[in-house]
């Protein structure tokens, strides 16, 4: 095996080897990856065998056309996936949750693929509709959004989850809900970063010796107008800078919608 170290400065880099050596080590990792995939398939099989709990499908949620019963979100289909988007009352558009923005931005194009499979999709948020509506217009979101303001669990509390429901006629059941990093399948950025040499750049990751030190989790989810990662007063969730009319945030300007 021929190796050439390229660790001549920071950041450190992977060792350079010849093609045959690389292919051998890649195939060793591939065997582990395939085992990981099969373990994921087994978890999905177990997920399909979870029991479910009934909830009241007649409770009213508020969307663009006013209050509607929750069961209407199924759009006549048997299955429904929702994402529960956090909301910070009274905060400007750029002050809304960067973490939920990651998921919402990624999955906004999922609905057509889900619908042909017989699964409806909707976004739920605890925000009041008069605040949510201008946010959706600015973000350009076109999938159905609904306010679940004031509703009890599992619809109106514990935001930041992906939740799956099943309909049987006029009866509605909750079948599955994620927690924490269980949301990651909705955000392809994490899977892509995990394939790169330096990963997510977060401090918790297991890195080779000499690799760049990771930063706090979520450090790259919000930036200033120049693209510099920051959670300071000039931040916006990253995708917002792609929206027409997005302007730099003016610290101390109050709760205006800067767009």
- Whether the predicted pLDDT of 178 surpasses 60: yes
Establish if 102 belongs to a structural domain. yes
Establish if 71 belongs to a structural domain. yes
| DSSP of 154-219 | TTSSS-S-EEEEEEETTEEEEEEE--GGGGGGG-HHHHHHHTSTTTT-BTTS---TTPPPPB-TTT
Establish if 134 belongs to a structural domain. yes
| Tally of domains in the chain | 1
User: What is the rounded radius of gyration, in angstroms, for the C-alpha atoms of the chain?
Assistant: 22
pTM for the full model?
0.90
Give the tens place of pLDDT for each residue, 28-59.
999 999 999 999 999 999 999 999 999 999 99
Give the tens place of pLDDT for each residue, 202-251.
999 999 999 999 999 999 999 999 999 999 999 999 999 999 999 999 88
Compute the CA torsion angle 212, 210, 198, 182 (nearest 10 deg).
-90
Residue 224: phi and psi, rounded to 5, are -90, -175
Establish if 212 belongs to a structural domain. no
At residue 55, the pLDDT reads 96
Terminal alpha carbon distance of the chain: 57
Q: What's the 3-state SS for 80-119?
A: EEEEEECCCCCCCHHHCCHHHHHHHHHHCCCHHHHHHCCE
- Give the residue numbers spanning the domain of 123: 53-180
- CA-to-CA dists, residue 192 to 42, 101, 187, 222, angstroms: 23, 18, 9, 18
Establish if 222 belongs to a structural domain. no
CA pair distance 210, 221, nearest whole angstrom: 25
Q: Which residue has the tokens 């350079």?
A: 16
- CA-to-CA dists, residue 252 to 93, 137, 233, 249, angstroms: 15, 24, 8, 9
Using a 10 angstrom Cβ sphere, with 0-12 exposed, 13-18 middle and 19 or more buried, the burial of residue 83 is buried
Establish if 257 belongs to a structural domain. no
Establish if 7 belongs to a structural domain. no
Instruction: Give the CA angle between residues 74, 191, 5 to the nearest 5°.
Output: 180
CATH number for position 165: 3.40.30.10
Question: How many CB atoms within 10 Å of residue 38?
Answer: 10
Establish if 80 belongs to a structural domain. yes
Give the tens place of pLDDT for each residue, 103-149.
999 999 899 999 999 999 999 999 999 999 999 999 999 999 999 99
């Amino acid at each position: 095996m021929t190796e050439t170290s390229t660790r001549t400065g920071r950041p450190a880099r992977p060792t350079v080897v010849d093609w045959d050596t690389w292919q051998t080590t890649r195939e060793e990792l591939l065997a582990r990856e395939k085992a990981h995939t099969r373990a994921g398939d087994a978890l999905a099989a177990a997920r399909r065998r979870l029991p479910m709990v009934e909830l009241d499908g007649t409770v009213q949620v508020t969307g663009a056309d006013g209050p509607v019963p929750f069961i209407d979100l199924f759009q006549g289909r048997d299955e429904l996936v929702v994402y529960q988007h956090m909301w910070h009352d009274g905060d400007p558009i750029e002050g809304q949750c960067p973490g939920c923005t990651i998921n919402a931005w990624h999955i906004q194009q999922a609905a057509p693929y889900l619908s042909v499979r017989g699964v409806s999709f909707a976004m739920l948020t605890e925000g009041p509709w008069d605040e949510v509506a201008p946010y959706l217009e600015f973000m350009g979101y076109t999938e159905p959004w609904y306010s679940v303001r004031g509703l009890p669990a599992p619809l109106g509390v514990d935001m930041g989850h992906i939740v799956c429901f099943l309909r049987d006629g006029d009866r509605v059941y909750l079948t599955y809900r994620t927690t924490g990093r269980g949301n990651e399948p909705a955000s392809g950025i994490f899977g892509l970063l995990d394939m790169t040499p330096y990963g997510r750049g977060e401090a918790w990751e297991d890195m080779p010796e000499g690799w760049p030190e990771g930063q706090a989790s979520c450090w790259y989810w919000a930036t200033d107008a120049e693209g510099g990662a920051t959670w300071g007063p000039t931040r916006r969730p990253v995708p917002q800078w792609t929206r027409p009319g997005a302007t730099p945030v003016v610290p101390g300007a109050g709760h205006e919608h800067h767009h």
